[in-house]
């Protein structure tokens, strides 16, 4: 059932449209700043506030903003294989969005995972279109049933961050329809999201926001989508084309293309018509109506409400998404009553809550695994901690030992606006705003001062040549006791700084323990010429990083080995921080950061302790050269603010692991289907999706030797048996639904959840057939059930007729061939077995 029933309202959208002047119409077709649509006070048309993002409602500020709940990332939600849980998360995110005064959430992201190197994979759900589409639809339903408009994104073929504003994705129509558009189609038809965001990239030579085939023909005409379409931020590439194909809203404002003078000129020249403008304005007004702003036009102040119900949900969802991939000798769950000591190594004092970029927010709190384990076992077990490896992409914020102008911990920020004649700092220049700031990461996205100063007093705890760094967007300088010690120069690359796309330059400076030093950072905003994209012109960003020499150069592995050597069990926490796995940056390889440090840690610990368990926190598959040396492996994704508690719940057996992989884990990068075609030919700014439809398990089914852990895989602390399936009806027809019913028995001693995965295998093609080659099988349905020990439950999975279809490029429609389709059931793509068949008596077509 569709979730986005518009709110009851007596507002006459067409009547309002007819009263608007051209100037008023165009004001509505671009944002009013970053987070608002424009208002028209004359006619009582209010503004609508939007907010990021994919795993929580951040509010207006990118850094140090209003605190918000951090939910598990989409890939973690997908790993639960639980649509009901996804819908509950959508409901909770709707409640969070309201606390930020917003009516539109910019999420979810549904683009399939094409390569494990994709920097934004964590923000999306799966390699499989059905799993991604159904989980996204559930989140959307949860949002919109509770009054918040969802924004499904990024439409379309946005599977990489490298050159994402300009890359031309060359993709065949069949792969486009079956893989890359299918999750959008499922989410739109099932949940009717009120908004959709186009992507930055080109698709077959045309930017997505100008792409008539994508937006007008497929989205608007074929799928019948009548919601609002907005551009990604700074992703509008024309005036006439975007309006004519169906993009309603240019974001953010002020407009780069939809300026009144340009519109008047286009109307006069006949390259733009008023009917197209009216269609776009109508969509904006309909969104305002659907989210209830005409009845409640007031702007609501942002608040931080740390809801205990949300805390419990995040913990539950985080644990349910964790996948147990290896458990030799029953090393897990940990029997703390029988353990005298646990080595807790690696990044156990880091909460891997979320990836970087739009997913960043100021969480209400974050629980690390070490904190959670310490709380759970108390003093009954000796916890032996050692870091073991540094994984910094950027040095940590320079906060320890720093006080601001009032003697309080932290820094003072001064923001400046220059007179037109001024080009920099000058004597007697007064700041426009001065305030305390707890961090040394600064992003002036919401407001644009011409320059800033960061000031503080530092007292080091040791003597040494300590390390610092200062990556920035803008011209950044660091002064110590008024002496210029580092001039970073003007940086033109906003993605390089703001979203982790470059390694930083690290410098050293001599400090003496106990002495005080006056620190000052000065940053001038980049000019339009310096900023690589117009959106970033004049916007300051910087990060001041710092580590004392003794910490930077410590022999971390030796300490970890000493802690692990005679411990009863060794837990090694590894992963990608939000600096490494982030919007704006694709990975160069599948290795854990940094420079092999985490892999060396695992190998060294496993060499001295046979009961080594690796806890991996990434949003993507990673290389695991140590996999044969460890006893246990948990894949924990980015599990939100309760990540520590969720992980410990599984480690201790409070929760039996029930996550299943939403992506295949290859043995190496060379084994991936996109290898050699990711991120493409950067000289020609082109990437070819040469693998076609053979994405994920569709590829590994033909090359099983190349997969380390298959799609859908995951272990439990109990065992299950599947009974025979009853398939009804056994004939599949156009518009039909087939039910697959079976008993699932828990044959173990503890309660657990199992995921029943149903795949459909097409008829075998005869030699010489001219029919399109099909995948060996496709996921056609799934269900997650909880079963008590030594008990059985009945499970029903629906298969819709679309699962048997392929895109017939020659006929430009969907086709279903006649023949016998095997129904395969199991708990991974590699372990499913034949449970019967369906028959299609006569071939048929439908759509597009």
Count the residues in the chain.
848
Q: Residue 415 is encoded by which pair of tokens?
A: 């923001």
Cβ distance 630 to 80 under 8 Å? no
β-partners of residue 728 are 739
What is the rounded CA–CA span in Å between residue 238 and residue 404?
A: 47
E strand or H helix at 597:
helix 597-608
| Among 365, 384, 364, residue whose Cα is nearest residue 374 | 384
- The answer to whether the CB of 79 falls within 8 A of the CB of 42 is no
Q: Is 273 designated active site?
A: no
Which residue, chain included where needed, has tokens 């499922």? Answer: 186
Distance, in Å, from the CA atom of 486 to the CA atom of 469, rounded to the nearest integer, reads 9
CB atoms within 10 A of CB 76: 32
Q: Which residues contact 345 (CB under 8 A, 6 or more apart)?
A: 385, 386, 387, 388, 560, 563, 564, 570, 571, 572, 573, 601, 605
Q: How far is CA 11 from CA 38, 144, 249, 275, 769, in A?
A: 18, 20, 21, 21, 58
Using alpha carbons, select from 265, 440, 369, 410 the residue that is nearest to residue 616.
369
C-alpha atoms less than 13 angstroms from C-alpha of 333 in its C-beta half-sphere: 18
Nearest to 76 by CA among 598, 573, 580, 617: 617
Phi, psi of 408 (to 5 degrees): -95, 150
**Of all residues in the chain, what percent are helix, strand and coil, respectively (each to 5)?**
25, 25, 50
Q: Which of 743, 745, 808 is nearest to 772 (CA)?
A: 808
Catalytic residue among 232, 241, 599, 701: 232
**Is the distance from CB of 690 to CB of 677 less than 8 angstroms?**
yes
d(CA 508, CA 514): 18
Contact 839, 821 (CB under 8 A): yes
Residue 282: its H or E element? helix 274-290
Which of 18, 46, 9 has the alpha carbon at shortest distance from 281? 18
Secondary structure of residue 638 in the 3-state scheme: coil
DSSP-assigned beta bridge partners for residue 250: 30
Q: Say how many C-beta atoms besides its own lie within 10 A of residue 525's C-beta.
A: 23
Instruction: Give the C-alpha separation, 131 to 408, whole Å.
Output: 50
Active site positions, annotated = 232
């Amino acid at each position: 059932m569709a979730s986005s029933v518009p709110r009851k309202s007596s507002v006459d959208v067409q009547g309002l449209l007819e009263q608007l002047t051209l100037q008023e119409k165009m004001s509505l077709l671009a944002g009013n700043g970053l987070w608002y649509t424009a208002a028209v006070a004359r006619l009582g048309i209010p503004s609508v506030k939007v907010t990021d993002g994919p795993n929580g409602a951040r509010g207006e500020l990118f850094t140090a903003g209003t605190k918000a709940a951090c939910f598990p990332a989409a890939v973690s939600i997908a790993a639960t294989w639980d649509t009901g849980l996804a819908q509950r998360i959508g409901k909770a995110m709707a409640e969070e969005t309201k606390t930020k005064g917003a009516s539109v959430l910019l999420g979810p992201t549904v683009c399939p995972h094409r390569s494990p190197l994709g920097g934004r994979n964590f923000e999306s759900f799966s390699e499989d279109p059905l799993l991604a589409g159904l989980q996204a639809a559930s989140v959307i339903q949860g949002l919109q049933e509770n009054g918040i408009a969802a924004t499904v994104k990024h439409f379309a073929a946005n599977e990489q961050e490298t050159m994402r504003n300009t890359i031309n994705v060359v993709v065949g129509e069949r792969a486009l329809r079956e893989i890359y558009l299918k999750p959008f189609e499922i989410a739109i038809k099932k949940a009717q999201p009120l908004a959709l965001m186009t992507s930055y990239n080109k698709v077959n030579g045309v930017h997505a926001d100008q792409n008539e085939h994508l937006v007008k023909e497929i989205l608007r005409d074929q799928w019948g989508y009548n919601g609002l379409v907005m551009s990604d931020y700074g992703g509008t590439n024309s005036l006439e084309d975007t309006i004519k194909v169906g993009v309603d809203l240019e974001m953010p404002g002020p407009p780069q293309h939809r300026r009144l003078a340009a519109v008047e000129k286009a109307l006069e020249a006949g390259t733009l018509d008023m009917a197209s403008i009216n269609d776009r304005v109508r969509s904006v007004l309909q969104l305002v109506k659907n989210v209830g702003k005409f009845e409640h036009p007031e702007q609501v102040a942002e608040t931080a409400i740390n809801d205990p119900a949300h805390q419990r949900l995040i913990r539950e969802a985080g644990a349910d998404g964790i996948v147990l991939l290896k458990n030799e000798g029953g090393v897990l769950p940990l029997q703390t009553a029988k353990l005298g000591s646990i080595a807790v190594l690696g990044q156990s004092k880091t909460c891997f809550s979320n990836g970087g970029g739009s997913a960043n927010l100021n969480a209400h709190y974050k629980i690390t695994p070490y904190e959670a384990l310490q709380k759970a076992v108390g003093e009954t077990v000796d916890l032996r901690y050692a870091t073991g490896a540094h994984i910094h992409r950027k040095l940590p914020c320079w906060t320890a030992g720093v006080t601001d102008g009032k003697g309080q911990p932290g820094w003072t920020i001064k923001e400046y606006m220059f007179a037109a004649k001024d080009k920099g700092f000058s004597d007697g220049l007064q700041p426009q705003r001065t305030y305390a700031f707890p961090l040394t990461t600064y992003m002036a996205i919401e407001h644009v001062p011409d320059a800033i100063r960061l000031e503080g007093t530092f007292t080091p705890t040791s003597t040494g040549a300590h390390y610092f760094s200062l990556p920035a967007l803008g011209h950044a300088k660091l002064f110590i006791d008024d002496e210029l010690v580092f001039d970073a120069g003007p940086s033109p690359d906003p993605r390089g700084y703001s979203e982790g796309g470059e390694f930083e330059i690290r410098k050293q400076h001599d400090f003496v323990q106990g002495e005080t030093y006056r620190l000052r950072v000065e940053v001038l905003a980049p000019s339009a010429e310096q900023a690589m994209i117009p959106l970033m012109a004049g916007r300051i960003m910087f990060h001041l990083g710092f580590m004392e020499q003794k910490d930077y150069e410590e022999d971390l592995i030796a300490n970890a080995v000493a802690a692990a050597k005679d411990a009863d069990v060794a837990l090694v926490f590894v992963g990608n921080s939000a600096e490494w796995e982030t919007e704006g940056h694709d990975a160069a390889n599948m290795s854990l950061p940094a420079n092999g440090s985490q892999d060396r840690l695992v190998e060294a610990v496993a060499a001295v302790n046979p009961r080594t368990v690796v806890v991996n926190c990434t949003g993507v598959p990673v290389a695991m050269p140590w996999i044969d040396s460890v006893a246990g492996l948990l894949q924990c994704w980015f599990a939100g603010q309760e990540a520590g508690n969720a992980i410990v719940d599984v480690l201790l057996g409070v929760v039996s692991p029930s996550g299943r992989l939403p992506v295949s884990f290859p043995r190496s990068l060379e084994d991936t289907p996109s290898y050699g075609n990711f991120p493409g030919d950067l000289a020609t700014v082109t990437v070819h999706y040469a693998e076609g439809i053979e994405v994920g398990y569709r590829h590994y089914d033909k090359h099983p030797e190349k997969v380390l852990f298959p799609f859908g895989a995951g272990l439990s602390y109990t065992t299950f048996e599947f009974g025979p399936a009853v398939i009804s009806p056994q004939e599949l027809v156009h518009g039909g639904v087939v039910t697959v019913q079976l008993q699932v028995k828990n044959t173990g001693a503890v309660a657990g959840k199992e995921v029943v995965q149903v795949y459909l295998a097409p008829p075998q093609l005869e030699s010489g057939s001219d029919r399109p080659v099909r995948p060996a099988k496709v996921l056609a349905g799934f269900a997650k059930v909880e079963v008590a020990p030594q008990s059985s439950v009945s499970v029903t999975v629906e298969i819709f007729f679309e699962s048997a279809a392929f895109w017939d490029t020659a006929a430009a429609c969907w086709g279903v061939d006649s023949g016998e389709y095997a129904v395969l059931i199991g708990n991974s793509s590699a372990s499913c077995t034949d449970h019967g068949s369906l028959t299609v008596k006569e071939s048929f077509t439908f759509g597009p």
